[in-house]
Amino acid sequence: MAAPKYLKRDATSGHVSEVISTETGPAAEVVVSTTSGGTIDPTLLPVSGASSAIAGENIPAGGYVYIKLSGSPAVPSLFKAVWSSGGNQAIGFVLTSWTTGQTATYYDSGANSGLTGLTVGSRYYGDSTTAGGVTTTVPTGAGTISQFLGTASSTTSLESDIEDGIILAS
């Protein structure tokens, strides 16, 4: 296969010239080309939906979280999702544990590999008895938030497909 080429515009003269890409291995600010199959190597892409915020409380690995303004001055902060009456539905999950005040990375989709003891193929919901936790039991009870989180792809990974929560009438 021929070396990938790209066009480069000279900012001073405005001339455009063809350049042969010669970078190999990890490098910054280089042209990314596709594989022979026409796809970009997924290791070059960021993890799906990664964001960060200050941990407003201790959050365990694999915990599902919501975000709100907290502190003085108020800053976006992560807290464990609470699905019991009056709680807050999850907007994402963390892969590693975080302590209060740390800048935590959270994800809004993808594989939550911070969990253990899952049943492959089972559907998981927010656990109304454990903040940030998951359960295979379909939530019930007035005021409880029923929120589907995803399906277990292994005993340690939940393929997250976070849906909007529904506040149950009964």
Q: How confident is the model at residue 86 (pLDDT cuts 50, 70, 90)?
A: confident
Residues 91 and 141 in one domain: no
Question: Pick the residue with more confidence: 18 or 102?
Answer: 102
Do 137 and 162 share a domain, yes or no?
Answer: yes
Stretch 122-128: mean pLDDT = 97
pLDDT at 27: 59
55 is written with which tokens? Answer: 């941990």
Tell me if 20 is assigned to some domain. no
Structural domain that includes position 84: 50-110
Domains held by the chain: number: 2
DSSP label of 122: -
Mean of the per-residue pLDDT values of the chain = 87
- Mean local confidence (pLDDT), 27-56: 73
- Do 119 and 136 fall into the same domain? yes
Q: Are residues 98 and 145 in the same domain?
A: no
Looking at the structure, tell me whether residues 105 and 56 fall in a common domain.
yes
Neighbours of 95 (CB within 10 A): 20
When pLDDT is cut at 50, 70 and 90, the band that residue 44 belongs to is low
**Count of beta carbons in the 10 Å neighbourhood of residue 109:** 16
For 93-105, the pLDDT digits (tens) are: 999 999 999 999 9
Mean pLDDT of 15-26: 70
Residue 100 located in a structural domain: yes
Residue 133 confidence (pLDDT)? 97
Whether the CB-CB separation of 7 and 20 falls below 8 Å is answered with no
